[in-house]
Structure 1
Amino acid sequence: MDAELSSQPIVASRVSKKKMNWYLWGTLFILPEVVLFILFLWVPIFKGIFYSFYNVDFVDGNHFTGLANYVSILKDDLLWISIKNTLIYMALGIILGFWIPPLVAIAVSELRRFQGAARIISYLPSAVPAIVLYGMWMWFFDAVGPINSLLQKIGIDQVSFFSPKLAMSSIVVLETWQSFGAATLIYIAAIVGIPKDLYEAAEIDGASVWQRVRYIILPSIKTLMGLLLVLQLITTSQGFQAQLSMTDGGPNNATLTYLLWLNHTAFRDLEFGKASAMGSLMFFVLIGMTILYNVMQRRSEKA
């Protein structure tokens, strides 16, 4: 008995050392990634906040200006124009694009045959490179492009897709076409994870397709839809690539989003201090949205 009691601390010590070795090796493996993460993400963020209080001048040197950059942003008429356009862009993304992935996922999941082919086809637009995507849709939306040619053949007047009223909607349409495939696969994975017993019970009770969708699928993916909604809001709040490539903020600033205005301020107007202040303001807004996203994600994990 005494021998067994004396051996227990030795065994515990060995187990403890083995765990420490695993923790050490694990730390060594992730250390390069942590260093790169700090160097290329957090260091630029803190430098941006630091330079937001300076007038950045590569010739005469930087000069501390306090809150002057923030005051300049608040007095600039483009601030409210860019915020309004960003909110419109986010709203159109929800109205025109948010509902397509779950609808396509439900339609694919209800197919009795060729589900694999349907999943591949739905994802293909996401594989199109951005430069090809924008060139292709510029041709689609052109005055003599295929869409207007088809409309004229059926007796409908030519549509100016890049007019001030339609430019943002046109951009949302092309981005929805490109990005709905990835979200569709996420929804399909969630639908596949629904217990088969529920479907079997519904079929025995004579439930229709709409009833299965309403009472089984939608309640099961409701939390996921909430998470993807918050994630889409975070993503669209940073939208500028399509606006820059397709319209450069025009016509008449109709597609000038906040991040595109920041890009123009930094690289066209060369006001890096003001651009840093704009980035800092957006950083804190996105932190709030990210906190909301994490709270919803934790709720979904508990559910």
Structure 2
Amino acid sequence: MNHTAAPRRQQGAIGERRTGIGQILEKHLWGYLFLLPALLIFAMFLWLPIIKGFFYSFYHVDFVKGNTFVGFDNYKTVLHDSDVGISIRNTLYYMGLALVIGFWVPIVFAIAISEVRRFQGILRIAAYLPNVIPVVVLYGLWRWFYDPVGPINAAITKTAGGEGIAFMTDTSWSMISLVFMETWQQFGAAMLLYLAAILSIPRDWYEAAEIDGAGVWMRIRHITLPSVKSLIVLMLLLQLIGTSQGFQSQLAMLDGGPNNATLTYALLIVKYATTRLDLGVASAMGVLMFIVLSVLAIIQFRLQHRGDN
């Protein structure tokens, strides 16, 4: 028996494997090189700040005198700050309002446009146009809309009589007003995603349903909604993550007011970092948000995976 045959076969297999890897690298080398700058930028501006955020959450950050290790003191400050509790309640309220008021709007518009036989292109453009308005123009426009003598209050007083609504100064209306504004601006992008998914459904299904006598609601209920179910779940998760990080409109329109009614958790992080100049506590708050959102994403992934099975 030749005892050297097996090692030679193993060496040949290893050589073939190395040759295969080399061929793959040679074939896709330019693709990897073109991808490398994007990966470096992604790592520099996303993952590096995340890692530094974990690091800074255990330090009192001082760029002049140097950082001082404080252990879990920053996390203790977060847990004992009354503004944190207010911001968490406001954030949950904001997320709930966004679901009730805004989440279903792009779905309804996408279904309605898909059922229209004519002028679909014009309707798509009209629905998406608010999404391209610069935020500076958007906030100025809606400040005028919500003004006590603005067009909305003028329409209310003419039709219903009495006084108008203090959209920006009433604590019960301020967050609702922001959600309406953001829904009007942002629903167009989500609507296009839903519309693309709906238009990808085989038309034969709808034709067969029409032959069987199914009306519009029956087609939507038994064909459209089940076909885009996975997209709805994904968009729900993305909206929860996005609204949990909301702070831009709250900062620009009301700066967290009136009376902290629009002070969200992300806005409080910004205030700790820029106004209170305590980057350690801001980093600790960011780490806690990162953990919560990661758990939420894992739960959603497992529920969706279980539903697919």
Report percent identity of matched pairs. Answer: 54
Pairs aligned (count): 294
Change (3 A) 1:88 1:49: same
Distance 2:256 2:269 in 1: 12
The one of 187, 205, 217 equivalent to 1:210 is: 217
The reply to whether residue 164 of structure 1 matches residue 174 of structure 2 is: no
Give the residue type in structure 2 aligned to 1:161. Answer: F
Q: Which amino acid aligns with 2:40?
A: V
One-letter amino acid of the counterpart of residue 20, structure 1: L
Where structure 1 has 5 or more consecutive residues not aligned to the other structure, the ranges are 1-8
Q: Secondary structure at the match of 2:166?
A: coil
TM-score, reference length from structure 2: 0.89
Moved more, 149-158 or 119-128: 149-158
Aligned pairs for 1:170-249 (under 5 A) are 170-249=177-256
Query: What CA deviation, in whole Å up to 9, does each residue of 1:277-298 have, x standing for no partner?
Result: 1111112122223334555676
CA contact (8 A) 1:231 1:293 kept: no
Alpha-carbon distance in structure 2 between the residues aligned to 1:290 and 1:26: 31
Task: Provide the rounded CA distance (Å) in 2 between the counterparts of 1:80 and 1:288.
Answer: 20
Say what the alpha-carbon RMSD is for the aligned residues: 2.2
1:121 paired residue number: 126
Partner of 1:111: 116
1:12 CA drift (Å): 9.9
Contact 1:93/1:236 (8 A) holds in 2: yes
Distance in 2, matches of 1:134 and 1:277, equals 31
Q: 2:66 aligns with which of 61, 68, 82?
A: 61
Q: Secondary structure at the match of 2:109?
A: helix
The CA distance in 1 between the partners of 2:33 and 2:43, in whole Å, is: 16
For residues 267 and 11 of structure 1, the distance between their equivalents in structure 2, rounded to whole angstroms, comes to 58
1:62-81 superposed matches below 5 A: 62-81=67-86
Structure 1 CA distance for aligned equivalents of residues 111 and 303 of structure 2: 23
- Whether 1:19 aligns to 2:24 is yes
Aligned partners of 1:198, 1:237: CA distance in 2, in Å? Answer: 38
2:8 match: none
2:3 corresponds in structure 1 to none
SS at match of 1:206: coil
Offset of 1:26 from its aligned partner? 2.7
Q: Residues 169-225 of structure 1, C-alpha deviation per residue, up to 9 Å, x if partnerless?
A: 100000000110011011111110111111111111121111111111111112211
Change (3 A) 1:296 1:20: farther
TM-score, length basis structure 1: 0.91
Contact 1:244 1:260 in 2 (8 A): yes
Q: 1:157 to 1:68 in 2, by over 3 A?
A: same
State the Cα deviation string for residues 103-151 of structure 1 (Å, max 9, x = none). 0011101101111111111111111111111110111001010000111
Q: Deviations over 1:55-87 (max 9, x none)?
A: 112333221111111001100001110000000
Instruction: Give 1:273-288 correspondences, 5 Å limit.
Output: 273-288=280-295
